[in-house]
């Protein structure tokens, strides 16, 4: 089977006799894979359009009310009457909401920045209150704990330690300066030693000299063979003649009608991209769409077309895997709501929208009803048994607990 029209009829023969010709089999597989990929893209796009109509307004409203809740919770950070467990519960609550907002693709990032700055200011104010009442014994305990953790290189005066309590970022600056100085000393000490060790190592030098050139040469040989095969296919074969006929027929400069001119411009772009990418399948498809003749493949074209179509199959499979593993918002929404039928998908979206709406109502009610420390204490009791951590300080457990009380 060496003629082009026979390949174009492959999709209509799937229910009868299975093809045995390699070229026919590959053509059929490519058409099937292209259809599969396009169907997947269409489903994802249609699903996202439906999501934008049914769910997106509720997602955006939920993030708005969560931002309001974080702002409300953070306004209690500076209150002095909370117990330590209550304060931990409050900070965990803020942390959970902020983590959710930062990971939610529908959150206004400008709002996230504003919230982070407000929380930081509240924490800094709280730490300033602690620094005002710190005792000498507490200062000495903090110094001993820091030196135990980071060594004698971190030596800070009483005033510096008070500044660290008032603003923990000051302690981070001291630690970064200490680490930078230590790294610079180690780098200077090891630089000459490393160079001498490599230069004096005959095994290392022999290894790289022995294997690197061969690997490069093998790669160059493979690339050269592949390029020669593609050059033969597109320069001296039937496929090249088809490309030239298509370029002559589709050239937009020869078309006076504006609408058809724009259409030909797009087709010419597709043809040029196919030629540049050595995409023989697209060129053959375009030829079938615009010419009625049925040229026979010469042996050179046939021999070189088979590996090219095999590569096209691999590319389409790779594209399909990429589509399924993609992390863009449309694909993420598809994974969230996909189901066995359009009706089930619609039900899933309606259910999710209802949950978001109910959550917004609950948050608004909480903010309106919880305006005093006493009311907040009642809310925090429900969170007291959960594991606690402070998400706002990067060094976490490396810093003494005294700083966060």
pLDDT, one tens digit per residue, over 288-319 is 888 877 667 777 777 777 888 888 899 999 99
Spatial distance between the Cα atoms of 61 and 70, rounded to a whole number of angstroms: 14
Residue 37 near residue 320, CB atoms below 8 Å: yes
At residue 19 the predicted structure's pLDDT band, cuts being 50, 70 and 90, is low
Neighbours of 149 (CB within 10 A): 14
The string of pLDDT tens digits covering residues 348-364 is 999 999 999 999 999 99
Higher pLDDT, 22 or 278: 22
Instruction: Pick the closest to residue 405 from 205, 191, 131, 217 (CA basis).
Output: 131
Torsion of CA 47, 52, 53, 54, to 10 degrees: 80
348 burial (CB, 10 Å; 0-12 / 13-18 / 19+) is middle
Specify the long-range contacts of residues 199-203, CB closer than 8 Å, at least 24 apart.
none
For the ranges 93-107, 116-130, 133-147, 231-245, the maximum mean pLDDT occurs at 93-107
Residue 66 near residue 363, CB atoms below 8 Å: yes
Residue 378 near residue 139, CB atoms below 8 Å: no
Cα–Cα separations (whole angstroms), residue 135 to 144, 203, 312, 318: 14, 62, 74, 65
Higher pLDDT, 340 or 161: 340
Exposure string over 271-290, b if 16+ CB within 10 A, otherwise e: beebbeebbbbbbbbbbeee
Spatial distance between the Cα atoms of 48 and 177, rounded to a whole number of angstroms: 49
What are the phi and psi torsion angles at 296 (to 5°)? -85, 145
Q: What's the pLDDT score for residue 116?
A: 95
Beta bridge partners of 296: 3
- Taken as a whole, the chain contains a residue count of 405
Tokens of 140: 């000495």
The string of pLDDT tens digits covering residues 108-149 is 999 999 999 999 999 888 877 666 667 777 777 777 877 777
Residue 166 near residue 131, CB atoms below 8 Å: yes
Mean pLDDT of the chain: 80
Higher pLDDT, 230 or 169: 169
Residue 204, pLDDT above cutoff 70 = no
Spatial distance between the Cα atoms of 285 and 180, rounded to a whole number of angstroms: 62
Residue 218 near residue 289, CB atoms below 8 Å: no
Q: What's the pLDDT score for residue 386?
A: 57
Tokens of 43: 């489903």
């Amino acid at each position: 089977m060496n003629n082009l029209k026979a390949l174009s009829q492959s999709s209509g023969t799937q229910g009868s006799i299975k093809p045995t010709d390699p070229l026919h089999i590959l053509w059929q597989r490519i058409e099937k894979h292209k259809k599969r990929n396009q169907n997947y893209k269409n489903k994802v796009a249609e699903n996202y359009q439906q999501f934008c109509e049914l769910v997106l307004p509720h997602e955006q409203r939920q993030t708005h009310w969560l931002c309001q809740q974080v702002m409300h919770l953070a306004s209690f950070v500076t209150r002095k009457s909370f117990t330590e467990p209550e304060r931990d519960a409050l900070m965990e609550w803020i942390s959970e909401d902020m983590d959710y907002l930062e990971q939610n693709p529908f959150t206004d990032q400008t709002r996230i920045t504003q919230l982070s700055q407000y929380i930081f200011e509240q924490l800094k104010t709280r730490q300033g209150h602690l620094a005002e009442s710190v005792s000498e014994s507490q200062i000495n305990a903090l110094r001993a704990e820091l030196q135990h953790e980071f060594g004698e290189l971190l030596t800070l005066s009483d005033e510096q330690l008070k500044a660290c309590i008032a603003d923990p970022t000051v302690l981070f600056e001291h630690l970064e300066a200490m680490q930078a100085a230590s790294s610079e000393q180690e780098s200077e000490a090891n630089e000459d030693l490393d160079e001498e060790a490599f230069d004096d190592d005959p095994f290392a030098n022999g290894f790289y000299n022995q294997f690197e050139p061969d690997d490069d040469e093998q790669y160059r040989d493979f690339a050269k063979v592949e390029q020669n095969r593609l050059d033969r296919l597109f320069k001296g074969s039937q496929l090249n003649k088809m490309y030239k006929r298509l370029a002559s027929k589709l050239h937009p400069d020869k078309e006076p009608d504006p609408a058809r001119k724009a259409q030909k411009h797009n087709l010419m772009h597709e043809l040029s991209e196919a030629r540049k990418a050595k995409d023989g399948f697209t060129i053959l498809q375009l030829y079938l769409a615009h010419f009625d003749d049925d040229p026979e493949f010469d042996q050179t074209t046939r021999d070189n077309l088979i590996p090219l179509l095999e590569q096209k199959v691999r590319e389409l499979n790779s594209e399909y895997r990429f589509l399924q593993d993609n992390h863009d918002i449309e694909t993420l929404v598809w994974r969230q709501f996909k189901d066995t039928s359009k009706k089930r998908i619609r039900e899933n979206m309606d259910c999710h929208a209802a949950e978001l709406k109910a959550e917004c109502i609950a948050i608004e009610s909480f903010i309106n009803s919880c305006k005093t420390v006493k009311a907040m204490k009642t809310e925090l009791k429900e969170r007291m048994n959960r594991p606690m951590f402070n998400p706002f300080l990067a060094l976490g457990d490396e810093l003494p607990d005294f700083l966060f009380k």
